[in-house]
Structure 1
């Protein structure tokens, strides 16, 4: 279950950061603040403020082509969402619903809900698994 929560949190964070960089960013901010308010009402305003700050960073990242900054935002929000879901797994269906609403039309097929990766290695095997981009250099 922990791996599934991490995968969902990562997908949701990516969708969220994409949404923050669009004209519909207020909808994304409100949806996440509402999610937090259901289980941690005292933190909802802080989350909304943090999302406003994240929007500014996402816009800066997009305008300057700073992929490291943008990925940092995704990583930060993935961790926050994973912590929220671990403490409140009853929010999983609601988070999926919110992300479906925020995901751009036609992107449903491009964003799988579950990724399962298994590997078995023996001897001097080398295994590389990635859910996204990977660069391997030997040197």
Structure 2
């Protein structure tokens, strides 16, 4: 798969699940279902039910967010493999759903520590005062 489409699927899965846990979940759900209805109408009702299930899972097990995002990344990746032209519409949807400016870059952080190491990560300002 094209690396750009892979990155888009990853970003979409993370954004989707993050937004389902907010007050914007209905708008998010409606936008995603509309996308599926236009591109794969036979799956739109199932996608709506899966989104509702994901939201329910998030409210009962918020620590499952990464797992749920991975599942949506896979669904979106399969849609993009089947219909690569959907990428343009998906980007527009993500821009419309984005809580901040569309120019805000995606942020992914991973770290591994061993021994007495410390890791400090932040998506914005980070102030550390150790004494």
Q: Shorter-chain TM-score: which interval?
A: 0.7 to 0.9
CA contact (8 A) 1:2 1:86 kept: no
Q: Which residue of 2 aligns with 1:128?
A: none
Q: Hey, which bits of structure 1, 4+ residues long, moved more than 3 A?
A: none
3-state secondary structure, aligned to 2:85: helix
In 1, the alpha carbon distance for the partners of 2:79 and 2:24 equals: 24
Q: Which residue of 2 aligns with 1:123?
A: none
Aligned 1:1-139 pairs, distance under 5 A = 2-62=2-62, 66=63, 69-106=64-101, 108-111=103-106, 132-135=109-112, 137=114
The alignment yields a C-alpha RMSD, in angstroms, of: 2.0
Q: Deviations over 1:53-80 (max 9, x none)?
A: 1011122333xxx2xx100011000000
Classify 1:21/1:93 alpha carbon distance in 2 versus 1 (closer, same or farther; 3 Å).
Answer: same
In 2, the alpha carbon distance for the partners of 1:91 and 1:101 equals: 15
Offset at residue 10 of structure 1 (A): 0.5
Classify 1:103/1:4 alpha carbon distance in 2 versus 1 (closer, same or farther; 3 Å).
Answer: same
In 2, the alpha carbon distance for the partners of 1:75 and 1:136 equals: 24
CA contact (8 A) 1:21 1:55 kept: yes
Offset at residue 18 of structure 1 (A): 1.0
After TM superposition, the score normalised by the length of structure 1 is 0.74
In structure 2, stretches of 5+ residues that fail to align are 116-131
After TM superposition, the score normalised by the length of structure 2 is 0.78
Q: After alignment, is 77-86 or 50-59 more displaced?
A: 50-59
In 1, the alpha carbon distance for the partners of 2:7 and 2:56 equals: 25
